[in-house]
Structure 1
Amino acid sequence: MKKLLLACFVTITIVFNASAQEPVKVERDTIFIENQDTVLLKSYAKRYNPRKALLLAAIVPGLGQVYNKKYWKLPLVYGGFYLIGRQINFYNDIYTTYKFQLFTNLETNATKSKVYPYYTTDQLRRIVDRSRRERDFMVILMGGMYLLQIIDAHVDAHLKEFDLNPNLRVSLEPTITQDALIGRQTGMALVFRF
């Protein structure tokens, strides 16, 4: 029954299109018939493949955002990588400088440093531990930044399909609530109407 209805619909459509003076062009969507039971609908949203955006962002950071045509996110991605990388370099420089002096003090059994006479061995040990901890934390943040840009590219490609309701209205309205237990409360409410 479904095959018969589909065949009748396609036949009527072809006959009316052939008899019209000007053919009707549909540029928004295209329908492909693979077999008798399946109709594939290829639309604008299917041009952005979330899996491809994810893989591109994983290979080269920022390439998923370029694939989604969100060029304004590139400075955010590379700026974040630059700032975190700069902090990693800063803490690593402190770590290596003071670690060398700490090992020198430990080998000579000195309580004060010769290069840094205002630091004791215990203070140098705390500086080395703290700078190593901060450097390792920044490395973790760099990994988080990498994952965040991958997730952003993937979610953004998915949201290309999202259709926003044109009747949606969002407003911020004052509210007053009367409660027997708490009393009168005033505030603001975010109201969605659709």
Structure 2
Amino acid sequence: MKSRIFILVAFCFCFQFSALAQEKKENKAEKQKLEEGLIIEGELDTKDAIDPLSPARAAFYSAVLPGLGHIHLKQYWKVPVIYAGLGAGTYFYINNHNDYKRYREAYKRRLAGFQDDEFYGSVTDKGLEEAQKTLKRNKELSLLVTAGVYVLNIVWANVDAHLLQFNVDENLTFMPHYKLNEFDNSGDVGLTVNFKF
């Protein structure tokens, strides 16, 4: 009986000694890493403070001058995209408007009895009416697309300003991990959720 107690005490002592040695070794390694500057825990992050008015400011700037909200957010590559959309809509509006005026003038001259318009012989009176309807619809659609791109520019700047303030740092992590179990040499699969204050 005494030998069993002795073996149990010796085992516990050895296990405790081994654990203390391992802990001391880990503390020494951690201290060395801290001294080398590899791992610094508890350091305060010097992140920019969240500005709750930034999305409203970006939207206002984009409303005043399209693309200015993205310049404010330092997303310069989006400005040419916005102006390409606005330019395309404006181009098609002006083109359809000029064609509409040409067909309208030709139609008015035909109703007045003249036969010297540029479409005489190739387009009938009914064709002039249909062309006017089509060009008017296309002109209105181009205006609608241009206004839509303008509104989209404002919404895009607002959403981007919101997303820039979204917290995606390492203190908020959700990642799978694989750990080797040291006691029985088997692998453990798990999921880690970190939330540090």
Bin the TM-score by the shorter chain.
0.5 to 0.7
3-state SS of paired residue (2:46): coil
1:95-127 Cα offsets, whole Å, 9 max, x none, are: 01111000111121x7x7743111110000000
Q: Is the 8 A contact 1:95 1:132 kept in 2?
A: yes
Shift of 1:154: 0.5
Whole-angstrom CA distance in 2 between matches of 1:163 and 1:26:
15
1:95-174 equivalences in 2 (<5 Å): 95-108=100-113, 114-116=117-119, 117-164=121-168
Determine if the alignment matches structure 1 residue 85 to structure 2 residue 90: yes
Corresponding position of 1:65: 70
Residue 84 of structure 1 and its aligned partner are, at CA, apart by 1.0
Residue 18 of structure 1 aligns with which residue?
A: none
TM-score (normalised: structure 2): 0.60
Aligned to 1:46: 51
> Secondary structure of the residue that 1:101 maps to in structure 2?
helix
- Say which SS state the counterpart of residue 112 (structure 2) adopts: helix
More strand by share: 1
How many corresponding residue pairs? 132
* Contact 1:61/1:77 (8 A) holds in 2: yes
Which amino acid is 2:96 matched to? Y
Partner of 1:185: none
Q: What is the identity percentage for the equivalent residue pairs of Structure 1 and Structure 2?
A: 23
Q: Deviations over 1:9-57 (max 9, x none)?
A: xxxxxxxxxxxxxxx985615xxxxxxxxxxxxx443287111111101
CA distance in 2, matches of 1:127, 1:168: 61
Alignment gaps of 5+ in structure 2: 1-41, 176-192
The 3 A distance-change label for structure 1 pair 155 and 107 is: same
Could you list the runs of 5+ residues in structure 1 that have no partner in the other structure?
1-23, 30-42, 170-193
TM superposition score normalised by structure 1: 0.61
Letter in structure 1 aligned against 2:69: G
Give me the CA root mean square deviation: 2.6
Q: CA deviation at 1:88?
A: 0.8
Q: 2: distance between equivalents of 1:73 and 1:168?
A: 31
